[in-house]
A and B are shown apart, each in its own frame.
Chain A
Amino acid sequence: GVNPDLANERQTASFSVEKLTAWLDGGAEQTRLRRAVVEAIERDPVFSRENQYFQSQNERYEAAVRKAVHLQKKMHEMGWSQDGPESKYIYRAVAGDIAFLLHRIFMRSISVLGSDEQIAKWIPPASQYQLIGSYAQTELGHGTYLQGLETTAVFDVTTQEFILNTPKISAMKWWPGDMGRSATHTVVFAQLYVHGKCYGIHPFIVQIRSLQDHSLCPGIIAGDIGPKMNFEHIDNGYLMLQNVRVPRENMLNKFCEVQPDGTYVRRGSQKINYFTMTSVRISLISGEAVTPLMKACTIAIRYSAVRRQSKLKPGEQEAKILDYQTQQEKLLPQLAAAYAFHFIDDYLQEMFDRGYREIQRKNFDTLPELHALSSGFKATVTQYCTSGVEICLRACGGHGYSLLSGLPSLYTKIIASCIYEGENTILLLQTARFLVKSFMAASTGQSVPPSVTYLAAVKPRKCPAKNKLDFLSPDIYTEAYQHMAVRLISSTAAKLQDLIQSGVKKHDAWNRCTVQLAQAAKAHCHYITVKNFAETVEKLESKAGIQKIMKHLCDLFALHGIFSNAGVFMHDGYISGAQMDMVTASYLDLLAIVRKDAVPLVDAFDFTDKSLNSALGCYDGQVYQRLYEWARKSPTNKQISPAYEKYLKPLLHNTLSKL
């Protein structure tokens, strides 16, 4: 049965959990579909994650390969297709614990960067898994800064081949997934040289392992890069190329081509490359950042409703730790953030779809805005969610550190998202560059993209709030965020101008302002998130209690941001000291309000127990029983440790000290 401590949390819900779930999914039909996919996968024992926490790196890799292979069979059986409506739920259901994710990127890069002939040649065997692909971009010495890559591809006119080389150790490909053990082919990014001239980074298809016996091809040195904080199931690899020759046709040539005589031809717009990056950054926000935060909130909040500790009132039962203000202050803002970023994901997705339609009509105007927003949001959301997951972990006390809580694995996985697909600080600076440019344009009256038109409306004002209830008005706080973002962007732009006018070189001035620039970019994203949350709430129908609770969450998200960044809002006196006390009071009131619906709010995320894989976070709240059962399954309790016979016994019998 359900632990009564959790059951009574559910009885007092102020809204319908099922309706909220359906709304989050984008309709009841989606919910039905998602549940069907999850159910089909979780029922299949091959996809079980039951022993995951007890497995070694080798075992987890093998399980991931087994699951990936089995998934192909399963999809065929269920009639699911690669780009069908089920696909996004499949990934959610297997919880990413699967091999060959890079194979999909391999295929996508060929589809986007390859010519029609190349697509016809490579995609059919790849989709039949006749070959397994990877994507080799990052090197030991260079990551986000692509121009710095050092692998070379020299065109040899006489044999019509490219000769690929790793000229030094820092040029070794390092990190690509599926490359350490699995892949037979990979797309290698290398500096192209023709007749001694460098043409920059280009993609080449290179076979690295034999299709017969999987041994390495001549000239190839490849292997696994060793253990990481997580992703033990993925064989991230290294690759060294020694005079590896590939035919001229293996350079992906939709946009650039080397002709037989060595003539270099460029066609189409380079901008499309940005579009690929943009699409990857937007697509990872939901699955890699928001979902883990939702899971962590589910685990920590359910556990906090079950764990009782110390007394709040003398003579009464020990209190649920969720009733402590300090515990609410840790968890509930994270819950609000999970919702806020879920809505931001919708916003970005919609903007992306619009941009995509424009690009298909050869209109690239929306690209800079899309690129800037996707960079900034990838950075802010992954960073926020990462720290949110860690807060959830630490809010579970000692038991949070047990792998069986599920939280350490969520954390060690999500932190990687701050680095991959562009290191966050560098991405924020890209956004900042766009903001400064837009601000300059706006202040000289030129037109700017829709998301930054607010920069034109610089008006030095004061926050009009008169009492703490005023701060529950979305207009009041959205305005405060807007004011703060404008102030940070304009003051940084002004400082940059000043430095340049005082004779400092442009790049130097930029470096001296980067701390502020990154802060300004974050402020912009924070503002858009609050604004979008408020607008989303406004559009909701008021029935079923959903709008009301969403409004509370929106207020909580916004006021938590002001409370935790008080100085930034007070700096020019926009919010006064007295007003800041009102913010704090309203914020603390909200914690107590949202507390009441905390469990139903995480229930609405609708994660199955299997997908949470947590002894602390199960739906029924039987925490301690489960923790004990799972611990007893640990292999350390099954086998007799060799350490006893070898070392402990002689030690206990005092034979060592007699030596």
Chain B
Amino acid sequence: EALVLNDPDFQHEDLNFLSRSQRYEQAIRKSSLMVMKLREYGIADPEEIYWFKSFVHRGRPEPLDLHLGMFLPTLLTQATPEQQDRFFMPAWNLEIIGTYAQTEMGHGTHLRGLETTATYDPATQEFILNSPTVTSIKWWPGGLGKTSNHAIVLAQLYTQGQCKGLHAFIVPIRQLGTHEPLPGITVGDIGPKFGYDEMDNGYLKMDNFRIPRENMLMKYAQVEPDGTYVKPLSDKLTYGTMVFIRSLIVGDSARSLSRACTIAIRYSAVRHQSELKPGEPEPQILDYQTQQYKLFPLLAAAYAFHFVGAYIKDTYRRISGDINEGDLSELPELHALTAGLKAFTSWTANAGIEECRMACGGHGYSRCSGIPDIYVTFTPSCTYEGENTVMMLQTARFLVKSYTQVSSGQRVTGMVSYLNDLSRQRIQPQHVAARTVTVRINDPVSLVEAYKARAARLVEAAAKNLQAELNHRRSKEDAWNRTSVDLVRASEAHCHYVIVKLFTAKLSEISNAAVRAVLTELCLLYALYGISKNTGDFLQAGILSDAQITQVNQRVKELLAIIRRNAVALVDSFDFHDVHLGSVLGRYDGNVYENMFEWAKKSPLNKTEVHESFHKHLKPMQAKL
């Protein structure tokens, strides 16, 4: 961290004052320098590279992201040794800069719908790549617009007249040396977006573009010289990468929300407004109950997601050990769970960042608050790497499958094992009613049980509704579609349960008593706030009574007052450096107002004392009227 922060080469003007083109240029400059310095310092460990990179770019996207994050790893995992010889070292030395071109204008999450074709021509031993429709133009890949000279292109493979589904091809797109697009290639930038100003997200259109047979990534599936197609051994392996990337997004949800909370809570401690007690000085806005109610549940969520991210990463590491030994049994559950958790945490963080910004009033709206930037950088994660609603439905598919297994007498394991209890409850009809009194609202463990019961009920309800639709003799797809709102609710309840469970489990691992105490308060707040926002589910299932709901609502407000004392310390613990936070409102020293003034003076509109518009428009108008 210090290595980067103290390096004058990495300093630059405030990005907020730069145009898109300038921001792209700055990012490229820093990436180039970064690569050089990584070599200079001899940093090669992926984890260290990741940290170095995140400090150079302060957690912002950069044009080489896809080269480092997708192009190189894909070569490592999907290229044959021969292909690695040809491509890996040039790519490592950045003679080849690559991107990963999957999404098209017409299709994103639904991969099977992609339309780009790669037709094998045995006569020349080449693949002919084509973008047959407007919708098949590759659209969005980062670094594609201006930076890359190669791309890994996903296309429908046609050989011997048959479609063999999606496969990956290494496609050169720009001339080495001149950087001009190659004949048959149309490539460019897709224009301005909501954020990601420094990234040249691009489009790519191919017209009868030929590449040699050896450019298809053939570690798994292969096309032989005569055009014979050889199937891959298992297609579950691709799950692994998806799980990994989605686990990163969960971590990113935690981090982005933590940053927004840090800014909003520090600023709320600095800002004084109105009066609480007549005659007394204006109080810090953090003392208002409504302000605490906006911010503290988000703070609790940021902590919760942090633990969830760590859990997925650990589980993934453990399972990928197993995968290498050929044991894939746990992968479906982890895949299903990360899909839902990716959606749940990114939705919550997305809304939470906005809530933090609004909690900063008008100044939150200024780019100097840093929150607009956090928001626009984070919000696409609700869509990329799997659109959230589709993700929730993937989790639901797994939940329904598990429920069906339980109903047919099998037992299920893992996070869904609570479904096993459902069959037991049917034997003991009193069970549900008896539950009402057993929930102790000050005991996280007991609240985990409450969330578990809610998830079980909603999964059961969705599965039954699905069955009812099927009984109406609707097609499977139609029945699924007509139940999908219920299914999403079931998934959300399941994810919510998992998060409360993981947060609670974490508490017992904390050895320091004071830390455990404050995190227990946060955990309680997270769980109780979640109940108070979803009281309908808990009431309807008879898990909690009216009186208990009233107590929950009351207890939430008591916890706000308790957490208030430690609020600033809790965000300081995230340990974001001011430079990384990029916020005038969230400065560690709290000197907000004078620094806002300093910041504003640098605005491009202030470059000259009298703006040129005065001479061009205002003055002539005043003269005329």
A residues apposed to B, CB below 8 Å: 53-54, 56-58, 61-62, 65-66, 69, 72, 128-130, 132, 138, 140-145, 147-148, 169-170, 172, 174-175, 180-182, 213-216, 223-229, 235, 238, 307-314, 318, 323-327, 329-330, 390, 393-394, 397-404, 408, 411-412, 415-416, 418-420, 423-425, 429, 505, 507-508, 511-516, 518, 565-573, 577, 580, 588, 624-625, 627-628, 630-637, 639, 641-644, 646-654, 656-657, 659
Contact = CB atoms under 8 A, between A and B. Distances in A.
B372 A627 contact: no
A130 B621 CA distance: 9
B288 A313 contact: no
A515 B557 contact: yes
B552 to A, nearest CB: 10
A307 to B, nearest CB: 8
A643 B146 contact: yes
B612 to A, nearest CB: 7
Contacts of B146: 636, 641, 643-644
Interface in B81-113: 93-95, 97, 103, 105-110, 112-113
Interface stretch (B240-248, B316-324, B496-504, B594-602): B594-602
Given A170-B593, A508-B277, A625 B134 contact: yes
Contacts of B110: 309-310, 318
25 contacts: A62-B613, A141-B271, A172-B597, A181-B613, A308-B106, A309-B107, A313-B475, A313-B478, A326-B488, A401-B196, A401-B383, A402-B193, A415-B365, A416-B365, A570-B539, A628-B105, A631-B189, A631-B190, A636-B21, A636-B189, A636-B191, A637-B189, A652-B97, A656-B35, A659-B36
B478 A225 contact: no
Interface of B: 16-17, 19-21, 24-25, 28-29, 31-32, 35-36, 39, 93-95, 97, 103, 105-110, 112-113, 134-135, 137, 139-140, 145-147, 149, 176-177, 179, 188-196, 200, 203, 271-278, 282, 287-290, 293-294, 354, 358, 361-362, 364-368, 372, 376, 379-380, 382-384, 387-389, 393, 475, 477-478, 481-485, 488, 534-542, 546, 549, 553, 557, 593-594, 596-597, 599-606, 609-614, 616-622, 625
A145 B274 contact: yes
A172 B601 CA distance: 13
Given A72-B621, A326-B484, A641-B146, A214 B593 contact: no
Contacts of B294: 425
Contacts of A624: 105-106, 134-135, 137
Contacts of A215: 609-610
Contact of A419 (B19, B282, B361, B605): B361
Most buried by A among B278, B288, B362, B596: B362
Most buried by B among A311, A313, A403, A643: A643
Contacts of A142: 273
B618 A567 contact: no
A62 B191 contact: no
A621 B600 CA distance: 42
A224 B609 CA distance: 10
A536 to B, nearest CB: 28
B601 A223 contact: yes
A475 B250 CA distance: 45
A527 to B, nearest CB: 18
A402 B191 contact: yes
B535 A566 contact: yes
Given A65-B617, A130-B622, A140-B596, 12 more contacts: A72-B621, A225-B366, A390-B354, A397-B108, A398-B108, A403-B193, A415-B358, A415-B365, A508-B277, A566-B539, A628-B137, A641-B25
Those 9 A-B pairs whose CB atoms lie nearest each other, nearest first? A566-B536, A567-B535, A408-B194, A224-B605, A226-B603, A634-B191, A567-B536, A636-B189, A577-B540
Contacts of A570: 535-536, 539-540
Contacts of A411: 194
Contact of B290 (A418, A425, A632): A425
Given A402-B193, A507-B276, A512-B289, A235 B605 contact: yes
Contacts of B604: 56-58
Contacts of B282: 145, 148
Contacts of A313: 475, 477-478
A54 to B, nearest CB: 6
B21 A641 contact: yes
Contacts, number: 363
Contact of B289 (A147, A312, A511): A511
A139 to B, nearest CB: 10
Main secondary structure, interface of B, reads helix
Nearest to B601: A223
B593 A627 contact: no
A226 B145 CA distance: 29
A54 B476 CA distance: 46
A56 to B, nearest CB: 5
B605 A72 contact: no
Contacts of A588: 482, 485
B492 to A, nearest CB: 12
B365 A223 contact: no
B174 to A, nearest CB: 9
Nearest to A576: B540
Nearest to B489: A584
A229 B362 contact: no
Given A401-B383, A402-B190, A514 B484 contact: no
A479 B177 CA distance: 74
Most buried by B among A401, A577, A653: A401
A647 B383 CA distance: 32
Contact of B93 (A214, A227, A505, A654): A654
Most buried by B among A56, A62, A636, A644: A636
Contact of B549 (A129, A512, A516, A567): A567
B453 to A, nearest CB: 14
A398 B140 contact: yes
Given A130-B622, A140-B593, A632 B188 contact: yes
Given A401-B194, A636-B145, A652-B179, A69 B617 contact: yes
A634 B24 CA distance: 14
A181 B32 CA distance: 38
Nearest to A428: B290
Nearest to A637: B188
Nearest to A212: B619
Contacts of B354: 390, 415
B477 to A, nearest CB: 5
B603 A169 contact: no
A648 B179 contact: yes
B15 to A, nearest CB: 10
B539 A567 contact: yes
A226 B618 contact: no
Most buried by A among B93, B147, B194: B194
B485 to A, nearest CB: 5
Given A312-B477, A419-B361, A651-B32, A226 B540 contact: no
A632 B190 CA distance: 7
Given A66-B617, A636-B191, A571 B535 contact: yes
Contacts of B597: 140, 169, 172, 238
A143 B361 contact: yes
Given A224-B606, A624-B106, A654-B95, A403 B191 contact: yes
B21 A635 contact: yes
B367 A511 contact: no
Contact of A514 (B191, B288, B368, B535): B288
B478 to A, nearest CB: 7
Given A226-B16, A402-B191, A635-B21, A648 B147 contact: yes
A634 B190 contact: yes
A567 B605 contact: no
A652 B94 contact: yes
A529 to B, nearest CB: 20
A61 B611 contact: yes
B68 to A, nearest CB: 13
